[in-house]
């Protein structure tokens, strides 16, 4: 996989912090009832659509992929970072994980029932978002659900270390739900619901439920 610029920075940063990141997030969902509720509703939508494969794009160490699997979803994970994929495969040996980038998603057209991107668009620059969402629409079957999670705000910042103090070089982009909604509609999705969250009192977040138009 040939990557450059922000993609290369993101990959190398998460390769560096993969183990520490997984250690911090391994039990994270257990402490977040609203995220569990969002994932449960998403799983219900997948079941209502008849089941089938579901892509967790930007899956990191695979904790969300595994949670969806526990909800009866045939989920698999894709992540830019080979280090993250190594951790995901080690932590969840019965599940499928692949290295890949959302800017050139390695999935066939209409090959998944649904797609999840939980806090994985936060490093994607604005000018790349329409193309990424275009790939999401391409691989999701008509009428299939989409769930996005992201930080809410209007600013971007450079993150230079994290997850145990390891060096990083990634930009973190916070966005308003209305902006993501506009991008989704332009990409061919219908936005059905929006949840605003404030998970720790200092980092407002949101989840958007959408569906691919026919």
Which CATH number belongs to the domain containing residue 59 in this structure?
A: 3.40.50.150
Domain that holds residue 12: 6-212
The distance from CA 53 to its chain's CA centroid, rounded to whole angstroms, is 15
| Interval 80-122: pLDDT, tens | 999 999 999 999 999 999 999 999 999 999 999 999 999 999 9
* Torsion sign over Cα 148, 83, 16, 90: positive
Any domain includes 135:
yes
Q: Could you tell me which residues come within 8 angstroms of residue 8 by beta carbon, excluding any fewer than 6 positions away?
A: none
pTM equals 0.94
Query: Has residue 1 been placed in a domain?
Result: no
- Burial pattern 156-191, b for ≥16 Cβ within 10 A else e, equals eeeeeebbeebebebebbbbebeebbebbeebbbeb
Residue 112 lies in a domain: yes
pLDDT bin (cut points 50, 70, 90) of residue 200 is low
22-32 per-position pLDDT tens digit: 988 888 898 88
When divided into structural domains, the chain yields a total of: 1
Q: Are 80 and 14 in contact (CB under 8 A)?
A: yes
What average pLDDT does this structure show over 157-185?
Answer: 92
Can you give the pLDDT at residue 203? 79
Asked if residues 118 and 58 have their Cβ atoms less than 8 Å apart, the reply is yes
Report the phi/psi class of residue 8: left, alpha or beta, with left for phi > 0 and alpha for psi in -120 to 50: alpha
Q: Is 131 helix (H, G, I), strand (E, B) or coil?
A: helix
- Pairing of β 145-151 and β 204-212: antiparallel
The pLDDT confidence band at residue 199, using thresholds 50, 70 and 90, is: low
Name the β-bridge partners of 145. Answer: 211
Which helix (DSSP H) or strand (DSSP E) does residue 18 occupy?
A: helix 6-25
Helix (H) or strand (E) holding 119: none
């Amino acid at each position: 996989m040939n990557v450059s610029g922000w993609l290369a920075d993101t990959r190398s940063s998460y390769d560096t912090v993969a183990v520490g990141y997984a250690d911090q997030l391994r039990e994270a969902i257990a402490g977040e009832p609203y995220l569990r509720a969002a994932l449960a509703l998403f799983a219900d939508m997948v079941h209502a659509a008849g089941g089938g494969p579901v892509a967790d794009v930007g899956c990191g160490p695979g904790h969300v992929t595994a949670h969806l699997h526990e909800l009866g979803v045939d989920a698999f994970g894709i992540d830019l970072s080979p280090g993250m994929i190594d951790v995901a495969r080690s932590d969840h040996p019965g599940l499928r994980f692949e290295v890949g980038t959302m800017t050139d998603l390695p999935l066939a057209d209409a090959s998944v029932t649904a797609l999840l991107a939980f806090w994985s668009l936060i490093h994607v620059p604005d000018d790349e978002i329409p193309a990424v969402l275009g790939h999401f629409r391409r691989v999701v079957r008509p009428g299939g659900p989409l769930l996005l999670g992201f930080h809410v705000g209007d600013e971007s910042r450079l993150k230079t270390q994290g997850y145990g103090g390891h060096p990083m070089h990634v930009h973190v982009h916070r966005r308003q739900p209305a902006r993501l909604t506009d991008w989704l509609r332009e990409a061919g999705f219908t936005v059905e619901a929006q949840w605003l969250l404030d998970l720790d009192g200092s980092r407002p977040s949101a989840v958007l439920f959408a569906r691919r138009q026919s």
